Structure 1
Amino acid sequence: MAIDAARILNEIEKHTAQARKGDPAKMRESIAAVRALCDLLLENDQLQKDSTPRAIPLASPQIQPVSSASKLQEEDGANGDSLFEF
């Protein structure tokens, strides 16, 4: 969902005006809001550039059977085909 850049810029102007006439605490809040709005505007611009559809190949994993020759040798006291053979 893209946000209109003009709307964001209007909000930046409102917060800039508040920052100019407010006390230091309000000024800090307004500046933080301007920063967030600028980040939103830049992010929105980047999303529009990256909105080209990308194809993701869907491939099913291939399971290769294990031949008995490639299995490890069974040792005395081993648990067979267990992953936890020590």
Structure 2
Amino acid sequence: MRPTETELMLKGYGLTTAEFFYRMPDYRNVLNTFIWQDYDLAPDHPRLFRFIEFWQESIEGPLHSVRFTHRKMISPGEWQNVVGEFTLH
């Protein structure tokens, strides 16, 4: 059973979004794109690299390039100590 998204975020996972540029199998001069998202651990990104390996083994369109970003969804918030309070009419 796969953990819930909240459980993954509490374990340090963040949302990884990758844009794959690949060549069309019948038209090698045409690039197409594919967007992939999953929760992954930075900086190693094991799920992203597993998907890239799957692509190279199973998909006919050869990869041209991959662009990705990673964002932790749960991060320390900003905290500010308030010493005084002003009241306006």
TM-score (norm 1): 0.31
Structure having greater relative contact order (Cα 8 Å, sep ≥ 6): 2
Bigger helix fraction: 1
Bigger strand fraction: 2
TM-score (norm 2): 0.31
**Larger Rg over CA atoms:** 1
